[in-house]
Amino acid sequence: MGRPFTARLGANESTFGPSPIAIAAMQTAASETWMYADPESYDLRHALAKHHQVMPANIMVGEGIDTLLGLVVRLYIAPGDAVVTSAGAYPTFNYHVAGFGGALHAVPYKNDHEDPDALIAKAQEVNAKLIYIANPDNPMGSWHGAAAIQNMIDRLPSGCMLVLDEAYIELAPEGAAPPIQTDAENVIRMRTFSKAHGMAGARVGYAIGSVDVISAFNKVRNHFGMSRIGQIGALAALQDNAWLKHIRNEVATARNRIAQIASENGLAVLPSATNFVTIDCGQDGDFARKVLAALVADGIFVRMPFVAPQDRCIRVSCGTPEQLDAFAAALPDALKVAFTPTHGKLG
Amino acid sequence: MGRPFTARLGANESTFGPSPIAIAAMQTAASETWMYADPESYDLRHALAKHHQVMPANIMVGEGIDTLLGLVVRLYIAPGDAVVTSAGAYPTFNYHVAGFGGALHAVPYKNDHEDPDALIAKAQEVNAKLIYIANPDNPMGSWHGAAAIQNMIDRLPSGCMLVLDEAYIELAPEGAAPPIQTDAENVIRMRTFSKAHGMAGARVGYAIGSVDVISAFNKVRNHFGMSRIGQIGALAALQDNAWLKHIRNEVATARNRIAQIASENGLAVLPSATNFVTIDCGQDGDFARKVLAALVADGIFVRMPFVAPQDRCIRVSCGTPEQLDAFAAALPDALKVAFTPTHGKLG
């Protein structure tokens, strides 16, 4: 629209910013950006291995989860191979599946959660090579406990790999992530510095898996794909536990505030394990789309799920008090606009 | 080897650094890296379009030329399709061709230049879908004038696209680049901020082509692949003509110094249109490999061509006076070691 949004609450970015230590490291690295990044991400990979108590050979650093998902699809999916996901789950994964000719099969959410039983059953039915699940989930913010995910892993059909997208895991309650088992050849887990670490623009993600699963990336990845500043910033961010704790507090405060705003407008929110909150607008998708359009027109950037019945909701990223005040100020009018009957169409 | 090199002169990085204006812009952007980059690279693409006097729709910004080359191969090459390059030219292009199942055909260099006539003849012979040429060339530093490249374009077989890698073009003499013709559907040109602009670690490259050729990237590219800091740094670097002029001067000075060092050791250099100089060690590949190994052991990181007869040479990036002094100090001993006959092998 040619003007910045009043409140940028649509992309689940961490408006609270990256760790000040990471910012300082990136600023220092800026003058050294004439050098290529280390193609092996040696320092970052070793630090991540220590952090997760795995071997460096269990970690592949890449240019964000999007890039890593593309490589996984390229490695495992030949044209026509079946892939299973949830209807309305992460569209970029679906984009990669389509791009490499995979046959995508989607199962519905169950009570606004991705449905492990349905995903496993569909994978068995279509002989899937990959299942995608995000835990916590985007766009609903819901999550499963570790036992449910572990149970899913234990029931994977032979020849089927689970792509477990844990982009939001640092913001989930304790006990949402099953233990990392690096001897499992049928699970690849995705993590990122984009969400809790507040470095979406730096493009640093990583995969955790068995040595064989991880080494396969070397056949197809761009060996010089990483940004040097991002690599150095991520290494610094990983050390700053105090900032991560601060972010968890900010996110918890913002979740509560969004719930309060929703409640003041007679709306319910879904419990969230992420840095966004999904508000149930209480009607159908057409209604929620009107609410969203009115908010966007008022400078409040939010998004919504694509698929019914989740599209009855809008998705609001955790923002600063000022941003959420702006959202609170805009929501009543947006609901009023959405409730106003349309008596005719202007062609 | 567990210690930094005394002189990092092997990766054709611009040791003179990026524009101070670009460094400042990247430092400012560091605190905003919680935001994703603009997936359309709108500002940078428009600035590049203005710079090249083309339309924004003729420009695709990507995560370095490597990524863009991978996307071009993915878009144009089905398994078994023929691709033509020069033996010893850019290995990352070959990696992408292999990765997507293309059949690579290589023609020899001619007098240490890539050979447009042989590339065209081979493309006709094997019905190639793509020809790759770098002008100026890496690893030899040689170049063709615009007329030779334009003549090559004019003779492209039907159904064959030229991938014209101009990574070093800002460092070439005037008149090395043919005019940009955005109505040509069979040429895609690659440029980068990694070389003259000194931002190798930021991963910002771009392709220039017809609207159709450029829009095809949108089917396969990672829409959120760009680093925000890199995008902002590149935009600033593009405006800093004074720095580019300074770099051209530094590179010219370093080229002369490398030629002088070579001459003092009885060696010749090849004329260079790049930020490196290829030194002819005057013997065979085994000899040059010994020279290189001795230099590396002495903390001087240089590289060499992979293929005979170019592998009689070593490739030295343009460095600071201090770095080139270190090279000058190490070269005589390296040559002495290489000239020493090996009387036996130790198993």
Q: Which residues of A touch B230 (CB under 8 A)?
A: 227, 229
Which residues does chain B have within 8 Å of residue A224's beta carbon, measured at their own beta carbons?
64, 66, 92, 203
- Whether B2 has its CB under 8 Å from any CB of chain A: the answer is no
Q: Please name every residue paired with A162 in a beta bridge, in sequence order, or none if there are none.
A: A131, A187
Question: Measured in whole angstroms, how far is the alpha carbon of residue A314 from the centre of its chain?
Answer: 16
A198 inside 8 A of chain B by CB: yes
Query: What integer pLDDT is reported at residue B347 of this predicted model?
Result: 38
How many contacts (CB atoms, under 8 Å) link A and B?
154
Q: What is the ipTM of this complex?
A: 0.95
Closest CB from B32, B63, B99 relative to A220: B99
- Is B225 in contact with A64 (Cβ distance < 8 A)? yes
CA of B26 to nearest chain A CA: how many angstroms apart?
A: 6
Structural element, H or E, at residue B163: strand B161-165
In chain B, residues 17-46 whose CB comes closer than 8 Å to chain A: 17-18, 23, 26-27, 29-37
DSSP B157: P
Residue B79, token pair as written in the block: 């398994």
How far apart, in whole angstroms, are the C-alpha atoms of residue A54 and residue A136? 22
Place of tokens 């990696």: B95
Which tokens hold the place of A73?
Answer: 């699809």
CB contact under 8 A, A11 and B36: yes
Q: Is A10 on the interface with B (CB under 8 A)?
A: no
| B98–chain A Cβ distance below 8 A for any pair | no
Which candidate in A68, A227, A231 is best for mutational testing of the B interface (most B CBs within 10 A)?
A227
Inter-chain contact A200–B99, Cβ cutoff 8 Å?
no
**How far away is chain A from the Cα of B35, in angstroms, using its nearest Cα?**
5
Backbone torsions φ then ψ of A128, nearest 5 degrees: -70, 145
- Residue (of A287, A220, A177, A178) closest to A72 by Cα position: A220
d(CA A113, nearest CA chain B) in Å: 26
Q: Quick one: closest CA in A to B15, which residue?
A: A34
> Running along chain B, 347 residues long, what does each successive block of 10 average in pLDDT?
81 96 98 97 98 98 98 98 98 98 98 98 98 97 98 98 98 96 96 98 98 98 97 98 98 98 98 98 97 96 96 97 97 96 58
Q: Give residue A347's pLDDT.
A: 39
What DSSP assignment string belongs to B52-114? HTS-GGGEEEESHHHHHHHHHHHHH--TT-EEEEETTS-HHHHHHHHHTT-EEEEE--BTTB-
User: Cβ–Cβ of B31/A18 closer than 8 Å?
Assistant: yes
Contact flag B201-A227 (C-beta cutoff 8 Å)? yes
Instruction: Check residue B251 and give its pLDDT.
Output: 98
Any residues with CB less than 8 A from the CB of B321 and at least 6 apart, and which? B257
A223 neighbourhood in chain B, CB within 8 Å:
92
Contact B196, B241 (CB under 8 A): no
B16, B18, B227 member nearest A227 (Cβ): B227
- Please answer yes or no on whether B30 and A34 come within 8 Å at the CB atom: no
Of B13, B30, B63, Cβ closest to residue A225:
B63
pLDDT score recorded for residue A301? 96
DSSP state of B103: E
SS3 label, residue A106: strand
Cα torsion angle, B17, B22, B27, B30, sign: negative
Task: Give the model's pLDDT for residue A341.
Answer: 80
Is residue B55 classed as helix, strand or coil in its secondary structure? coil
- Checking DSSP bridges between strand B82-86 and strand B103-107, what pairing results, if any? parallel
- A71, A211 Cβ separation under 8 angstroms: no
pLDDT at B344: 53
Output the tens digit of pLDDT for each of chain A's 347 residues: 567 788 999 999 999 999 999 999 999 999 999 999 999 999 999 999 999 999 999 999 999 999 999 999 999 999 999 999 999 999 999 999 999 999 999 999 999 999 999 999 999 999 999 999 999 999 999 999 999 999 999 999 999 999 999 999 999 999 999 999 999 999 999 999 999 999 999 999 999 999 999 999 999 999 999 999 999 999 999 999 999 999 999 999 999 999 999 999 999 999 999 999 999 999 999 999 999 999 999 999 999 999 999 999 999 999 999 999 999 999 999 999 999 987 655 53
Give yes or no for A220 touching B (CB within 8 A): yes
Q: How far apart are CA B199 and CA B232, in angstroms?
A: 12
Q: Residue A289's pLDDT is what? A: 97
**Do the chains contact at A198 and B34, CB–CB below 8 Å?**
yes
Distance from the B232 Cα atom to the nearest Cα atom in chain A, whole angstroms:
11
pLDDT of residue B345: 52
User: How far apart are alpha carbons A326 and A269 in whole angstroms?
Assistant: 18
Identify the burial level of B99 via C-beta atoms within 10 angstroms of its C-beta, where 0-12 means exposed, 13-18 middle and 19 or more buried: middle
Q: Which of A26, A201, A223 sits opposite B36 (nearest CB)?
A: A201
Distance CA A310, CA A291 (A): 15
- C-beta atoms of A66 and B33 within 8 A: no
Contact A251, A171 (CB under 8 A): yes
A304 Cβ neighbours under 8 A, 6+ residues apart: A139, A288, A289, A292, A311, A313, A314, A315
In this complex, the residue of B14, B32, B227 whose CB is nearest that of residue A230 is B227
Intra-chain end-to-end CA distance of chain B, in Å: 23
Shortest distance, CA B65 to any CA of chain A (angstroms): 10
Q: Cβ of B218 under 8 Å from any chain A Cβ?
A: no
Cβ-based neighbours of A179, under 8 Å, separated by 6 or more: A146, A150
Give the CA dihedral B77, B83, B86, B92, nearest 10 degrees.
Answer: 20
CB contact under 8 A, B14 and A33: no
